[in-house]
Amino acid sequence: MPVAALTAIILSCTAPAVHDGDTLRCDGERVRLFGVDAPELRRGQTPAEPFAYEARDELIRLTRGRVGCRPVERDRYGRVVAKCWSSTSPDVNAALIRSGLATEYKRYSKGLYAKAEAEARSARRGQWAASAR
């Protein structure tokens, strides 16, 4: 589907399957959260990065009700990259970053979530608590 057609739709689902801290499945599509960089889960012999399981669990918590996602583009892996909201949060992407369990992926978001990350850092949430010691 061309990017222009993709951005005109909204994906919707209830309690989507969550793969990791920045990827879920909604309306039959793999969705990568726009502007969010969560720690990687264990892959083969590579151990999980710190806070990877906590980030995944936070995304599960944030998406337990109705979820909507507005696509921005497709990434090189064919996933829909999207801004999402739920009955739990008006901005799932920002809430995950605000939790301190994920960071802003500035390369793509260009500072859109800088305020959410600064809030997590100043409150020493998640990974910011560990680095504040």
Q: From the candidates 32, 56, 74, 98, give the one annotated as an active-site residue.
A: 32
- Whether 125 sits among the annotated catalytic residues: the reply is no
Q: From the candidates 56, 74, 79, 98, give the one annotated as an active-site residue.
A: 79
| Average pLDDT of every residue of the chain | 93
- Whether 133 sits among the annotated catalytic residues: the reply is no
Helix (H) or strand (E) holding 3: helix 3-6
Range scoring the smallest mean pLDDT among 3-7, 77-81, 126-130: 3-7
pLDDT of 39:
97
Q: How many CA atoms lie within 13 A of 49 on its CB side?
A: 13
47-97 residue pLDDT tens: 999 999 999 999 999 999 999 999 999 999 999 999 999 999 999 999 999
Mean pLDDT confidence for 14-33: 96
Where residue 133 falls among pLDDT bands split at 50, 70, 90?
very low
- Whether 58 sits among the annotated catalytic residues: the reply is no
In the predicted structure, residue 7 carries a pLDDT above the cut 70: no
Structure token digits, residue 21: 């801290």
Structure token digits, residue 102: 């994920």
Whether this prediction's pTM lies above 0.85 is answered by yes
Q: From the candidates 25, 30, 40, 119, give the one annotated as an active-site residue.
A: 40
Could you give the domains of the chain? 3-127 (2.40.50.90)
Range scoring the smallest mean pLDDT among 6-15, 36-45, 77-86, 102-111: 6-15
